[in-house]
Amino acid sequence: AGKTTLLRCLSRATTVSAGSARFGETDLASLSGRRLRGHRRRVGMIYQQFNLVERLSVLGNVLVGRLRHLRGAARWVVLTGRFPLHDREIALRCLDHVGLVERAWQRTDTLSGGEQQRVAIAKILAQEPTVILADEPVASLDLSNGRLVMQTLRRVASETGITVIATLHHVDYARSYADRILGFKAGRLVFDGPPAGLTDAAIFEVFGELF
CA 168 to chain CA centroid, nearest Å:
12
Residue range 89-116: mean pLDDT, rounded: 94
Of 79, 59, 57, 75, nearest to 67 (Cα)?
75
Span 146-172, average pLDDT: 92
| Mean pLDDT, rounded, for 157-177 | 91
pTM: 0.86
**Which has more confidence, 131 or 75?**
131
Calculate mean pLDDT across residues 113-139: 93
Q: What is the pLDDT of residue 108?
A: 95
- CB of 173 closer than 8 Å to CB of 146: yes
- Assess whether pLDDT exceeds 60 at residue 3: yes
